Chain A
Amino acid sequence: MPPNSLTSIQHNLGNASDCSGRFLWGAAARVSLGDLLRSTSLGGRLPELSGRSVLLATRDQLATALALIELDGVAARLIICAPDVSSEHLPSVIAKAGVDAIVSDHDAHDRRVVGGRLLVISTLDLAPAKRENVEHRPTEWVLLTSGTTGAPKMLIHNLNSLTAPIDLGRNLGTGVVWGTFYDIRRYGGLQIFLRALLGQGSFVLSGAAESTADYLVRLGAHLVTHISGTPSHWRRVLMSPQARTIAPHFIRLSGEIADQAILNTLHSSYPQAAINHAFASTEAGVAFEVNDGLEGFPASVVGASGEVEMKIVDGSLRIRSARTALGYLGGDNAVLPDDEGFVDTGDMVELRGDRYYFLGRRNGVINVGGLKVYPEEVEAVINRHPAVRMSMVWSRKNPITGSLVSADVVLKGDADQRREYSQIADFKREILQICQQNLAAHKIPATIRCVPALDVAAAGKMIRHHA
């Protein structure tokens, strides 16, 4: 299958035979795709956004979806602000991306963020609109993922790299309804959004403050057929009394290692569903999908020729395809592809028998329910405690969120100095408090151990034991 060459989402929707029976269902409103072709959520200000570098700072996923559809092929660059990007990092995102316009669904923006930039407030009350006068151009999509220091990394994609994994010629039939536990502002959710739009489907989007239980009830009411999430999302579903409200035909897992327990439990809970787990990341795109119900992936896919090529170098998986990000924005991150065009995923794999199994991340990045945690960021916060000499943060396996953050801490003073148990308990509580004040919940260590020493290599760096 050749890579897709699409001009814009609007163009593709316009060519679709009939959009009238297709909907985007948000938590508070619904929009017919047919109506969207003749109307706007941007209050008639689309022409002003033409050719600009636009930051999408919407809170509601439906508002995000409408703006993406309208602005693709119109804006020069779309920077999709993930929900966890803190306001502290926004100014540098704006500067690096040359943002000169902001689209938002609320007007409570910091004046320093807006500056003199064009601010367009979007609405779910669509107004009739014509698009003939708007100049069309290819749009660069910029996705944000978390970086080492907490500042987001900015990855450049375009509609073709994002849709390359999607077989647009495949007819899934009518009545396809997509849903995802991901946010569409992340790569995993965006993939489902594009599958729904560019296929024949409708899409049920979760609300910003909506519980999994309420989203499941809406998914059930709209007879969801295709649904995706991380293994942690799915474990959460299976722990919900509303798990039985859905009966999907197709279940997809990505974003974390899918273990055999979650694959088996999903199969017994939803026996009618085809279940696949995909390896995908914002950097590497979708590399492959596994359909045989087993964890890991067949060794035969490594070294095989095809649209996606894979090789293992020093135990880590490298991928070459038209689906990988085109590069980083801002130029302060490592260059993506190697000399042969392969992107190093940093995911360590091990060959056992005729399958490869994922072991974890080479750089010690901890994946907590699909959210990345860089140990260095957490260690820097722990080390602010005056009694801490050094600390090492590591990934502890967890059956609910895949992994959790754990910390080993070396206290100042003589290694042989005996400390009262109560004093150590106080230090742990204080360290936890500093973390709670400075870190997102998934980055706060679940367990803290006081240890006499940490392994330090000759060059002075701590030895991290991964995988």
Chain B
Amino acid sequence: MSIRSTVISLIQQIGMETRKDLPPLTDDFVLLDSGLDSLAIAIVVTRLEDTLGLDPFTESDDTSYPVTLGDFIRFYENAAKFSDVYSAQSG
């Protein structure tokens, strides 16, 4: 499963658990303005850490926080490029 589809399916799962009707998950979807609150994003980040073995937020002391879904996916894709964990899993 690609990082993109993992992220999207986890967001959909959290949307269902928290009974939020989410708009279509396009790249310009603003994470915190479309029905998800920061608690929901926090849960997505935790489950992504469990699924992908990646937490790009805490791997650096100088983080730029992702605003849109596109930013968020790229954030994880970039982290994966530098992560042995992910390459070991996918390779």
Contact = CB atoms under 8 A, between A and B. Distances in A.
Nearest to A400: B42
A369 B38 contact: yes
A306 to B, nearest CB: 31
B60 interface: yes
A212 B32 contact: yes
A236 B39 contact: no
Nearest to A368: B39
A236 B32 CA distance: 8
Contact of A261 (B33, B39, B61): B61
A401 B38 contact: yes
Given A232-B38, A241-B67, A398 B45 contact: yes
B61 A264 contact: yes
A269 B50 CA distance: 30
A113 interface: no
Interface string A215-232: 000000000000000001
A441 interface: yes
Interface string A230-273: 00100110111101000000000000000011001100100000
B66 A239 contact: yes
Nearest to B45: A400
A238 B47 CA distance: 21
A446 interface: yes
A128 interface: no
A265 B62 contact: yes
A355 to B, nearest CB: 15
A369 B65 contact: no
A239 B38 CA distance: 9
Contacts of B77: none
Interface residues on A, range: 20 to 34
Contact of B33 (A211, A238, A398, A447): A211
B67 A240 contact: yes
A432 interface: yes
Of listed A239, A243, A260, A442, residue having the most chain B CB within 10 A = A239
B46 A239 contact: no
B43 interface: yes
A399 interface: yes
A264 B38 contact: no
Contact of A398 (B46, B62, B66): B46
B63 A446 contact: no
A213 interface: yes
B73 to A, nearest CB: 14
A404 interface: yes
Interface in B47-66: 47, 50, 55, 57-58, 60-66
A311 interface: no
Nearest to B66: A239
A261 B67 contact: no
28 contacts: A212-B32, A232-B38, A238-B64, A239-B31, A239-B65, A241-B33, A243-B67, A260-B61, A261-B58, A261-B61, A265-B62, A265-B65, A268-B62, A268-B64, A368-B39, A399-B57, A399-B63, A400-B42, A401-B42, A404-B42, A404-B46, A432-B17, A436-B17, A441-B39, A442-B39, A446-B43, A447-B47, A447-B50
Across chains A and B, which 3 residue pairs bring their CB atoms closest together, nearest first?
Answer: A399-B57, A400-B42, A238-B65
Interface of B: 17-18, 30-33, 38-39, 41-43, 45-47, 50, 55, 57-58, 60-67
Given A243-B67, A404-B43, A446-B42, 5 more contacts: A213-B32, A239-B32, A239-B67, A398-B46, A399-B63
